[in-house]
Amino acid sequence: MFAALLLGAASLPLNATSVYTYTFETASADLGESHSYGTAPYAITVYGYDGTSTNSLNTPAELSETTSGLGLAGSHSLVTTSDFVTVDFADPETLNGATADFEVGDLSSGEGWELFGSDTLGELGTPITSNTAGWGTAANAWETIPNLADYTYYSLQAVKLPGYGQMIANCGTSSAGFTVLGVKVAGASAAPTPEPATCVMVGLALIGLSLGTRRLCSRRG
């Protein structure tokens, strides 16, 4: 019995890293001002905002998902230079070794994206990086968010690049923007903490094994 208890305690599950990918190209619907994806501890919530303020609250806006990706309903289902989408990573950040990636699409020449981080929902916050800084690629490639634990909320907004004026002349539009194609989170759930009763049982199992070994040795002697 003691041996069985010891084996049971030794077989507690080890940490295993899991990856969850949320793609935003499978539906055509208005999602409201926020929409949640997945289940704990890998769940994320996406929010839409009108405005460009980095240190004050912006106005909530309706999200729209199409087969081209996720954007703002009032901006032709794009993320533009006058609005942004925010992803809440509070849940995945409880994981061990948590990381997150994003993918954008529907970018034309002269259009780009910029990533911001904040601990206040509704604010753009601190600029982190963009594809104008020589980091990452323009579109259709997974980009890793550096140091995910630094902020709870990460936002994406469109920026104008050199050549934007030529793009307007070619396309006959002044709208610059992109869609968010997906978000990927990864990490290992925390290892279970043994309960006091479990620790007592393991201790008794060790004592029992020790006593059994001594008796066996004394009989042989």
Ordered domains of the chain (ranges, CATH): 2-11+194-220 (no CATH), 17-188 (2.60.120)
2, HSE (Cβ side, Cα atoms, 13 Å)? 13
**What is the Cα–Cα distance from 91 to 100, expressed in whole angstroms?**
12
**Which pLDDT value is given to residue 194?**
53
- DSSP three-state, residue 106: coil
**Which pLDDT value is given to residue 218?**
52
**Above 70 in pLDDT, residue 182?**
yes
79 phi/psi in degrees, rounded to 5: -100, 120
Is the separation of the CB atoms in 163 and 119 below 8 Å? no
**Above 90 in pLDDT, residue 96?**
yes
Q: Which of 177, 170, 174, 183 is nearest to 91 (CA)?
A: 183
Give the DSSP H/E element, type plus range, for residue 32.
strand 29-32
**Above 80 in pLDDT, residue 134?**
no
**Which pLDDT value is given to residue 22?**
96
Task: Give the chain's mean pLDDT.
Answer: 79
Q: In the structure encoding, which two tokens stand for residue 88, read together?
A: 């809440």
**What is the Cα–Cα distance from 155 to 51, expressed in whole angstroms?**
12
Mean pLDDT of 35-54: 95
**Above 80 in pLDDT, residue 64?**
yes
**Above 50 in pLDDT, residue 157?**
yes
**Above 80 in pLDDT, residue 70?**
yes
**Which pLDDT value is given to residue 61?**
96
**Which pLDDT value is given to residue 163?**
54
pLDDT digits (tens, 9 = 90+) for 8-44: 333 444 468 899 999 998 778 899 999 999 999 999 9
pLDDT digits (tens, 9 = 90+) for 107-121: 877 788 999 999 999
Q: Which of 10, 158, 152, 145 is nearest to 71 (CA)?
A: 158
Q: Which residue has the tokens 């793609």?
A: 23
